[in-house]
Structure 1
């Protein structure tokens, strides 16, 4: 689980997160500073859905391309918006300067650990050009973090069934949803030393 002050980067998508809080669970919110370099995009370049979480953005600098539901617009500094649960959405850098936004996700659940896993896989070169790992690894992650998100555009029931089957195979092949080298604070400090 990330701690306040932890910073993770995704070199594939151009995202960087600086955690401001580290709560997890159903009653707490996760707050972080979100940075997105020019040409960068939200993980996967595709819309995703948070089944029970609301995501709020307060844009500090840059121009953030936003698609929420069927609406698409550009957010500029001072723009605040919220994405209700069960609403497909995605973001990208729509300008030539780095984007900086304050983000709140509530309830936090385990979304911070999800970010650590996905960004860690990208740093290790284990993702495609969209920042997504191969099908078995992705299924294991998607199955473990099913309360946090799923991909938009595919029927949820069909997606859950396919993910469950592939995740079972993926776990047998040794894939995990959480890796200590990405999420265990003591391991990360040791690896950096």
Structure 2
């Protein structure tokens, strides 16, 4: 179970998050975390994605955050605050030579904590590609289970969701799961 202080790291993407507020604390209203990207780090998958039902608010505290929203690229610097509305295609990367730190809030929370625990945990266990994504069948299981939290931007939801349902079922039949106990039982960083 995620608690404030729980820290996750994706060695493939250079992302590190530490939860400030969890879904349990906010009654499902939001999840807030510190988001750190090492130099040359990038958002999961290095591809545009969208949150079908969540607004993502980002406040850059230090460093330079490269941002692409609906095809427009720009750089957010310390003090920049912006929001990505639900359904908006976007991605981020470290656009500088030093670590980038931002505070991110996703609302509503949905089950984004488990999504992060699982995807970061798979990468930390060596079960992800160099862009931080698991193999196709594992990815389909995740896309099916977390369809309200995450979607690939380049494929219409009307195609993506049925595809995730079919391939997700095949992935589950082959033993892939949407969450793994070793990931779910992780203790906070200060424990």
TM-score (norm 1): 0.93
Equivalent position SS for 2:179: coil
Q: Deviations over 1:86-133 (max 9, x none)?
A: 100000000000000011100000001100000000001111111110
Shift of 1:22: 1.3
1:146 and 2:147 equivalent?
A: yes
CA contact (8 A) 1:38 1:98 kept: yes
Match of 1:2 in 2: 2
Counterpart CA distance in 1 for 2:88 and 2:123 is: 26
Query: How far apart are residue 27 of structure 1 and its match?
Result: 4.6
Deviations 1:72-95 (A, max 9, x none): 100000000000001000000000
1:164-179 aligned within 5 A: 164-179=165-180
Contact 1:26 1:107 in 2 (8 A): no
1:61 — aligned with what?
Answer: 62
Structure 2 match to 1:14: 14
Give the distance between the partners of 2:53 and 2:22, measured in 1 at CA: 19
CA distance in 2, matches of 1:81, 1:180: 35
Structure 2 residue runs of 5 or longer lacking an equivalent are: none
Distance in 2 of aligned mates of 1:5 and 1:68: 29
Residue 74 of structure 2: aligned partner: 73
- Counterpart residue number, 2:121: 120
Deviation at 1:70, TM superposition (A): 2.2
Unaligned regions of 5+ residues in structure 1, if any? none
Deviates more, 1:20-29 or 1:34-43: 20-29
The alignment of Structure 1 onto Structure 2 pairs a total of residues equal to 187
The ranges of structure 1 where at least 4 consecutive aligned residues each deviate by more than 2 angstroms after the TM superposition are 24-27
CA distance in 2 between partners of 1:104 and 1:172 (Å): 34
Counterpart-to-counterpart distance in 1, 2:180 and 2:110: 18
**Conservation of the 8 A alpha-carbon contact between 1:13 and 1:42:** yes
Cα RMSD of the aligned pairs, angstroms, is 1.4
Does structure 2 conserve the Cα–Cα contact (< 8 Å) formed by 1:26 and 1:109?
no
